[in-house]
Amino acid sequence: MKNPAKVNEAIRHLKPQAAPFEEEMSLNFGPQHPSTHGVLNFLVVTDGEVMHQALPNIGYLHRGIEKLAEMTPYSGFMPYTDRVDYLAAMFANQVFAMAVESLAEIEVPKRAEYLRVIVCELNRIASHFIATGALALDLGAVTPFVQWLREREFINDIMEALCGARLTYNYMRIGGVSVDMPGDLPDKILRFLDHFEPIIDEYNRLISNNEIFVKRLADVAVISPIDAVNFGLVGPNLRASGIGIDLRKTLGYSVYPDFDFEVPLGKGFRGALGDAYDRYMVRILEMTQSCRIIRQALEKIPGGEYRANVKKKLKVEENEVYSRVESARGEMGVYLISDGTDRPYRLKIKTGSFTAMSIVEKASQGLMVADLIALIGSLDVVAPEVDR
Amino acid sequence: MKAFADKLFLNIFHIQAADSPYLALWYVLMMFLVSFILLNFAALFAGIASYVERRIAARMQNRIGPNLVGPQGILQWLADGLKMFLKEDLVPQTADKFIFRLAPYFVFAGLFGAFVALPFGYGIVAADLNVGIYYILAITSLVVVGIISGGWSSNSKWALFGALRSAAQIISYEIPTGLSLMLVVMLAGSLSTQSIIESQGGWPWEWFVFHSPFTLAGFFIFFISSLAEGNRVPFDLPEAESELVSGFNTEYSGLRFLIYPMAEWANLWVVGAMVTLTYLGGWQIPGVRLETIPSSVLLFLISITIFFIKTLAVVFIVIQLRWTLPRVRVDQMTLICWTYLVPIALICLIGTMIWMLAFPWKSVFGTAIRILMSTVGGSVMIWCMLRARHNYVIDKDRFEKLKGIPAWYPPWKLP
Amino acid sequence: MKENTTIIEQGVIVSTIDGVLNWMRKSSIWYLLFGTACCAIELMQAGGPRTDLDRFGAVFRATPRQSDLMIVAGTVTYKMAERIRLLYHQMAEPKYVISMGSCANCGGLFQRSYSVLKGIDKVVPVDVYIAGCPPRTEALAEGILKIQKIMMREKWLKTRGTKRNFI
Amino acid sequence: MKPAEVYKLLIDRFGEDLILAYVETRNPYIKINNGYVQAICTFLRYNPSTKFAFLSSISGVDYPQRNEIDIVYHLFSPFLNTLCVLKTSTPRDLPELESLESVWKVANWFEREIYDLLGVRFTGHSNLKRILLPDDWEGHPLRKDYKEKNSYHDMETMRPDPLKVLREKNEKSGKSQ
């Protein structure tokens, strides 16, 4: 059997579909469903309200970005990285830029690194807005979500003043950033932070400490540290299970070692360690830390160039690299193989949501249908990051 | 209503109604008239409530809400309703078509039937049934029949989920509702809605809610369980939008769908009016005993106004709750009912019995407690209002400081 | 037109009734909550404080049966396209479709991809295209105003029944 | 511990038949024999001196000129703060490898993705089905010689180039004038 097509045909019938469960109802959850955060599909096997299993079925937003990378020059691929994770586009920008810079041995100016940190942390806050707000929305509280949308508009304004886009920024370039910060932007950012930090408390009063909300999330969908490692959870989801891995600290990439900040860990705030409430609360606490980093970065930011001199038609020697950053959804990696031409030979994007989705099957056993929504919401899964 | 019809007949035709050969016809005519008025009132209230709810929700969320359809968007509900009225009426091919078509009417009948026994002011009630409370409890149970049959006949799993949740919810919460109404019935010694109001007074310390700590607890139990019976947040499980797509009405469209939200908003009035008449003193005017003095139009109007204000205040609180709270899970919903509300309601029932015997209505201690409780309750209300005002001012300030960043204006400063 | 036409046939009353019908349809656009990709975030923001689609009477519904407008916001893959067609057929008449963003219009940035549908007009009829990647919320609001204009031009009493037979 | 030291450790443990080479790149990788992936990974994960607890990613790379598909494993050890890159090759005509599902659960989905996009078959995998593309999709898109089909079900996959259409239209109208 040398023909791959035939091999595949053989494999397809190796594992027949499991026999339908008796006295169980299977329910097709998504892809058009208000709380699937984009287009995810779950085959939910339930016995009444109690779920036996939720089998994720992904790929409804598989856009073939990895294949497109092989057709696109290095500098032209930046806009695609925005669309890998539209809620936290800066991180995808950064990880791709870092990979190419590492291959082409480009020194990034200090100012550019600081600018990258500032926009990344702002973006992290904006991303956590949607994560925490949408979780509240899924549990039935609309107002907190709209409140976060209101705050998010300010970040969108700041980003727009910086790079002209509200969502898919395309701000970073290989060797730096596309434009320098306008003169009045630090003041705007600081004013926003002054305004925003008290709002976190207000938000906590509104929803985080709401008893119904806590009861809906505490002790729900507990992910033990062992499971978290086994299923390759990353970022806030992993830290909620009590494992303190934050690439900003462990790798210390970019200029993060210059800043003084803490990594919030889950510690069973209102229930067991690693439950949905921990995952939620870790994100809320991370926002405060991001504010701290932005303040320090704005203080310490040096002058000088914002972009290294990079050839427009960049050609990279045969080499390979795996660069990683701590995105809003955890470790985001780019595995880049160059072959001496002006476009990548192979580019693989590793995302946090992909692995987070794979745990749904395990973590959802024995939950209720309403808890599945809490689970997906608290894992902060974004469809394009899963499918790419 | 019969007495009123007789009186009207006498005034118009100057004969005793009982003597007239057209008595039956006259009654039928009056019946049609009254039900026409009630239906219109309920439908109108449902429509306007939907608009008001959207505006309140928008205000809570720093939005504006519907404001372009008619002056300040006041015609929004009309456009929504008429549009649904004329939209294609889909019946899924695999549905049980007869029941699918029939189900909304159960909901309709159940809720609008309740309006018959609800008072609107002194002596203004379609039928002052001597089993009024019992009748309202019974007729609103028809709603659950409609919801279950609608959800089941849709042949959609989401709808079925919604229907079964609704069954569990409404049937469970009948019990605390009934028990907490028993307190009032016991205090008033009657099931008739009018005589329950008449046995209360106009001042807050004469309301049943402040009669004793037990009735205060009973009031909250009744309020919570009537939220649950009306499928309002935090108990909107049957149509939980983010869980069950749209719950029991997932497959409905057009006119048949229209009936469900209409009934839901009409139910707001039922909840408000029931809470008002049982615990909050109904239409009683402070300092005036309407039943002891000759009737006058002015007092009638004042009593109607008072009843409306109290009811709308309750409706407002229900709307605010809806846009603040998340939704409980289905097991928590039954847990709240069976492990908290029912036992507490039973304790309250017994407690109220003992209280009634120990401290009768006119006793000094009883009155003192009533006045104390009403003062505290009133102060809490006023504190809440001041707090809201304070937050509002802070909010205004806060956005002043952000001038320059946003291209956004808070709703109260829209250009 | 025949010689002895009545007023109704001449369209005076017809157009008045049509006007009323169109007015309420345009005043109450319930859109299907259906974001596929990046544009979905802007769709959410459009429902938020700054743009507030609720002003036009546009609210989201989760179920296709009760919605008048499908806003396809974002990239559509082949796997998804079949679902979109199904959802479109599940909607009750009268129904409209807005294609939001370049990806939904023509494939946009992902035109060369092997798994992306190049324009949803291959699957469902589209009334309004909104350009942008992603379009701003204001652009979406304008798209809704455009749909309202299209609605106001409809002649319900002259063309009875389903007016479009597509696919 | 640097990747070079990990290589030394592996050579000591498994010998040169299994551990083929150590290649210096930006992220140096260790080339291993494709028959013993599971054993080597289990060793790296549970050995107290390495503790590579995290499987960061599995990627597949197609090399038509070599007629091989490379599978790359990125392991991360927070204990050592080191990234270890393992690489192995499998023939392109009948790609087959051991599944790592028993070592890391997350490998399940990574391997399904590689099976989907590159057609590598993993033995011992519990649920080897397509994950991103529809079940009835033909071909494996990330292979370099993948050709797009003209239609999927009843949907065309191509859209005419708008500029070309416009040009043709102009030409036609020009002719008619």
What are the residue ranges spanned by the domains of chain A?
4-57, 65-386
Q: Which of B405, B408, B409 to mutate against chain A (most A CBs within 10 Å)?
A: B405
Neighbours of chain C (3+ CB pairs under 8 A): A, B, D
Is 70 exceeded by the pLDDT of residue A41? Answer: yes
Residue of D nearest to A18 (CA): D127
pLDDT over threshold 50, residue C93: yes
- Chains in touch with A (3+ beta-carbon pairs under 8 Å) read B, C, D
Q: Is B403 within 8 Å of chain A by CB? A: no
pLDDT exceeds 50 at position D42: yes
- pLDDT (tens digit per residue) in A258-285: 888 888 888 888 888 888 898 999 999 9
Question: Which one of A38, A63, A67 has the shortest CB-CB distance to C40?
Answer: A38
Answer for the pair B225, B390: CB distance below 8 angstroms, yes or no: no
Q: Please write the tens of the pLDDT for every residue from A60-81.
A: 888 888 888 888 888 888 888 8
Q: Do B243 and A373 touch (CB under 8 A)?
A: yes
Chain A nearest-CA residue for B234: A140
A130 touches chain C (CB under 8 A): yes
Query: Among D132, D143, D146, D154, which would you mutate to test the C interface (most chain C Cβ atoms within 10 Å of its Cβ)?
Result: D154
C48 belongs to a structural domain: yes
Cβ within 8 Å, pair D133-C115: yes
Q: Which residue in chain D has the smallest CA separation from A318?
A: D25
Contact A384 C48 (CB under 8 A): no
Who among B57, B245, B407 is closest to A34 (CB)?
Answer: B245
Q: What six digits make up the tokens of D105?
A: 């659960």
| Mean pLDDT value across chain A | 84
Residue D103 domain-assigned (yes or no): yes
CA closest to C84 among chain A residues? A32
D26, D106, D133 member nearest A355 (Cβ): D106
ipTM comes to: 0.84
**H/E/C letters for each residue in chain A?**
CCCHHHHHHHHHCCCCCCCCCCCCEEEEECCCCCCCCCCCEEEEEEECCEEEEEEEECCCCCCCHHHHHCCCCCHHHHHHHHHHCHHHHHHHHHHHHHHHHHHHCCCCCHHHHHHHHHHHHHHHHHHHHHHHHHHHHHCCCHHHHHHHHHHHHHHHHHHHHHHCCCCCCCCEECCEECCCCCCCHHHHHHHHHHHHHHHHHHHHHHHHCCHHHHHHHCCCCCCCHHHHHHCCCCHHHHHHCCCCCCHHHHCCCCCHHHCCCCCCCCCCCCCCCCCHHHHHHHHHHHHHHHHHHHHHHHHHCCCCCCECCCCCCCCCCCEEEEEEEEECCEEEEEEEEECCCCCCCEEEEECHHHHHHHCHHHHCCCCEHHHHHHHHHHHCCCHHHHHC
Residue A175 C-alpha, separation from nearest chain B C-alpha, in angstroms: 29
Q: pLDDT category, A57, cuts 50, 70, 90?
A: confident
> What pLDDT sits at residue B403?
67
Question: What is the number of structural domains in chain D?
Answer: 1
Does residue A15 register a pLDDT over 80?
no
**Residue B2 confidence (pLDDT):** 65
Q: What is the pLDDT of residue B382?
A: 92
The answer to whether residue C165 is domain-embedded is: no
Which of A25, A138, A157 minimises the CB distance to B407?
A: A157
pLDDT at C14 over 70: no
Q: How high is the pLDDT of residue C4? A: 52
- For chains D and B, having 3+ Cβ pairs within 8 Å is answered no
Interface test with A, best of C32, C42, C52, C79 (most A CBs within 10 A): C79
What's the pLDDT at B38?
86
Please report, for chain C, how many H helices and E strands are present, in that order: 6, 5
Per-residue confidence (pLDDT) for residue A274, from 0 to 100: 85
Q: Are B374 and B279 in contact (CB under 8 A)?
A: no
Query: Does the CB of A80 have a partner CB in chain C at under 8 Å?
Result: yes
Neighbours of B174 (CB within 10 A): 19
Q: How far is C112 from chain B (nearest CA, A)?
A: 35
Instruction: Using a cut of 0.95, tell me whether the model's pTM lies above it.
Output: no
pLDDT in tens, D44-102: 888 888 888 888 889 989 888 888 888 999 988 888 888 888 889 888 888 888 888 88
Nearest residue to D144 (alpha-carbon basis) of A73, A323, A66 = A66
Predicted pLDDT at A125: 92
**Which residue numbers of D have CB closer than 8 Å to C's CBs?**
132-134, 141, 146, 148, 152-153, 155-159, 162
Check A167 against C41: CB less than 8 A apart: yes
> Do D159 and C118 count as a contact with CB atoms less than 8 A apart?
yes
What confidence tens digit (pLDDT) does each residue in B367-393 have? Answer: 888 889 889 999 999 998 898 888 878
In the predicted structure, residue A8 carries a pLDDT above the cut 70? no
Instruction: Return the minimum-mean-pLDDT range out of A148-152, B103-107, B231-235.
Output: B231-235
Mean pLDDT of B119-141: 82
In chain A, pLDDT over 90 holds for what percent of residues?
7
Determine whether the interchain pair A232/D129 forms a contact, defined as Cβ–Cβ distance below 8 Å. Answer: no
C21/B65 Cβ within 8 A: no
The pairing of beta strand A50-57 with beta strand A41-47: antiparallel
Contact check, Cβ <8 Å, B402/A191: yes
Note whether D56 contacts A333, CB cutoff 8 Å.
Answer: yes
Question: By mean pLDDT, which of A19-33, A354-368, B333-347, D28-42 is the weakest?
Answer: A19-33
Q: B251 to chain C: nearest residue by CA?
A: C65
Over range C55-76, report the average pLDDT: 86
Residue D42 maps to a domain: yes
First to last CA, chain D: 78
C160 at B interface, C-beta within 8 A: no
Across the range B239-261, mean pLDDT stands at 82
pLDDT at B64: 82
Q: Say if D168 falls within a structural domain.
A: no
**Residue D65, domain extent:** 3-137
The average confidence (pLDDT) of chain B is 83
pLDDT of C165: 40
Kindly state the average pLDDT of the residues A28-56.
Answer: 80
Residues near B221 by Cβ (< 8 Å), separated by ≥ 6?
B176, B179, B180, B341, B344, B345, B348
Does the beta-carbon distance from A61 to C50 stay under 8 Å? no
Say how many Å lie between the first and final Cα of chain C, rounded. Answer: 33
Cβ–Cβ below 8 Å for A348 and D129: no
Report yes or no: B96 at the A interface, CB cutoff 8 Å: no
Residue of higher predicted confidence among A53 and B316: B316
Question: Which residues have a Cβ under 8 Å from the Cβ of B273 and sit 6 or more positions away?
Answer: B118, B119, B307, B311
The chain C residue lying nearest A133, using CA atoms, is C44
Distance from CA of A319 to the nearest CA of D (A): 6
> What pLDDT was estimated at residue C1?
43
pLDDT value at C9 more than 60: no
Cβ–Cβ gap C48/B63 under 8 Å: yes
Residues of A within 8 A of D78 (CB-CB) are 245, 250
Average pLDDT, integer, range B247-265:
86
B339 pLDDT higher than 60:
yes
Classify each residue of C59-88 as buried b or exposed e, where b means 16 or more C-beta atoms within 10 Å of its C-beta. bbbbbbbbbbbbbbbbbbbbbbbbbbbebb
CATH of the domain at C106: 3.40.50.12280
Total domains, chain C: 1
Mean pLDDT over A198-215 rounds to 88
Q: What is the pLDDT of residue B347?
A: 92
CATH classification of the domain holding D18 = 3.30.460.80
C131 pLDDT band (50/70/90 cuts)? confident
- DSSP classification of residue B341: I
User: What local confidence, expressed as pLDDT, does residue B161 receive?
Assistant: 85
Nearest-CB residue to A146 (from B61, B161, B407): B61
A140 with B240: Cβ contact below 8 A: yes
- Kindly tell me if the per-residue pLDDT of C11 is higher than 70: no
Between residues B263 and B409, the one the model is more confident about: B263
Residue from B88, B89, B258 to probe the interface with C (highest C Cβ count within 10 Å)? B88
Q: Does any domain span residue D147?
A: no
The verdict on residue D143 lying in a domain is no
A17 has pLDDT over 50: no
Query: C119 in contact with D at a CB cutoff of 8 Å?
Result: yes
What is the model's pLDDT at position B346? 92
Task: Determine D/C contact with 3+ CB pairs under 8 A as the test.
Answer: yes
Confidence label for C6 from pLDDT (cuts 50, 70 and 90)? low
Range of the domain at C113: 22-151
Say if the Cβ atoms of C113 and A31 lie within 8 Å: no
pLDDT at B344: 92
Reply yes or no on whether the pLDDT at B57 is more than 60: yes
With a CB-CB cutoff of 8 Å, which residues 328-347 of chain A face chain D? 331, 333, 335, 337, 345-346
| Nearest residue of chain D to residue A337 (CA atoms) | D61
Contact of D51 with chain A, judged by CB distance below 8 Å, is answered with no
**pLDDT reported for residue A22:** 55
Q: What's residue B345's pLDDT?
A: 92
pLDDT band at B298 (very low <50, low <70, confident <90, very high): confident
In a domain, C88, yes or no: yes
Q: What percent of chain B has pLDDT over 90?
A: 8
The confidence score (pLDDT) of residue B376 equals 92
Please give the share of chain C, as a percent, with pLDDT higher than 70.
84
Residues of chain D contacting C112 with CB distance shorter than 8 Å: none
Which residue among A63, A86, A150 places its CB closest to the CB of C49? Answer: A150
pLDDT top residue among A198 and A17: A198
The alpha-carbon gap from A285 to the nearest alpha carbon of chain D, in Å, equals: 23
Give a yes or no: residue D102 inside a domain: yes
CATH topology for A65-386 is Cytochrome-c3 Hydrogenase; chain B (1.10.645)
For chain D, give the percent of residues with pLDDT over 90: 0
Instruction: State the DSSP code for B247.
Output: G
With 80 as the cut, is the pLDDT of residue C25 above it?
yes
Amino acid in position B48: I
The predicted pLDDT at position C163 comes to: 47
Smallest CA–CA distance, residue B151 to chain C, in Å, is 14
